[in-house]
Amino acid sequence: MPRSPDIEARIAAVRRFSRFYTRQLGLLQESLVHTRFSLTEARVLYELANRHSVTASELAADLNLDHGYLSRILRRFGEDGLLAKKRAANDGRQSVITITAKGRKAFAPLNKGSHDQVAGMLEKLKPADQARVVGAMNTVESLLGTSSRSSSAVPAIILRPHHPADMG
């Protein structure tokens, strides 16, 4: 069954925005913010730097990454001394992964570069426009995040306009 012209236009608009934003952030470059890390490697390093500890299974699930691909990244990070692994106390098949001091040192310029890149984009805008951009991003995250959650999630609260007798 063919899709309606309205949905086709919306699909095209989402894809156009995705291409635009990917370009804005430089996500198609071989490395992220002039570091040696790819986007995926940077995201894994970010997660390690912002968690106390995590297992590879948890990380793969949270980032929606192929276990084999993540395993290769983690092996490389381990060889470079960016992370440490320790057997999980509750499951000997799992390893608990933590970032090392060397890993934090490697993450620092990546974090600063990303921060500065976004600051540069926002600083070109007036404060009211900055707020609009952030509000729009929150809206996208809220709407798409809600639709991707499981059906067992708590339903969103929807406020409707007042009706006669509501306030009486």
Q: What is the pLDDT of residues 88-116, one digit of tens each?
A: 888 778 889 999 999 999 999 999 988 99
Question: Residue 145 falls within a domain, yes or no?
Answer: no
Question: Residue 88 falls within a domain, yes or no?
Answer: yes
Question: Residue 112 falls within a domain, yes or no?
Answer: yes
Question: Residue 153 falls within a domain, yes or no?
Answer: no
Among the ranges given (79-83, 94-98, 140-144, 147-151), the one the predictor scored with the smallest mean pLDDT: 147-151
- Asked if the model's pLDDT at residue 76 lies above 60, the reply is yes
Whole-number pLDDT of residue 91 = 76
Instruction: Report the mean per-residue pLDDT for the chain.
Output: 86
Question: Residue 66 falls within a domain, yes or no?
Answer: yes
Cα–Cα dist 154/141, whole Å: 17
* Structural domain for 60, as ranges: 30-125
Whole-number pLDDT of residue 152 = 40
Cα–Cα dist 11/141, whole Å: 17
Higher model confidence: residue 105 or residue 32? 105
Cα–Cα dist 80/140, whole Å: 37
Higher model confidence: residue 8 or residue 28? 8
Q: How many domains does the chain have?
A: 1
* pTM tops 0.85, yes or no: no
- Asked if the model's pLDDT at residue 39 lies above 90, the reply is no
Question: Residue 158 falls within a domain, yes or no?
Answer: no
Whole-number pLDDT of residue 162 = 66
50 contacts 98 by C-beta, under 8 angstroms: no
Strands 95-99 and 83-87: antiparallel
- Domain CATH for 55: 1.10.10.10
Question: Residue 24 falls within a domain, yes or no?
Answer: no
Question: Residue 70 falls within a domain, yes or no?
Answer: yes
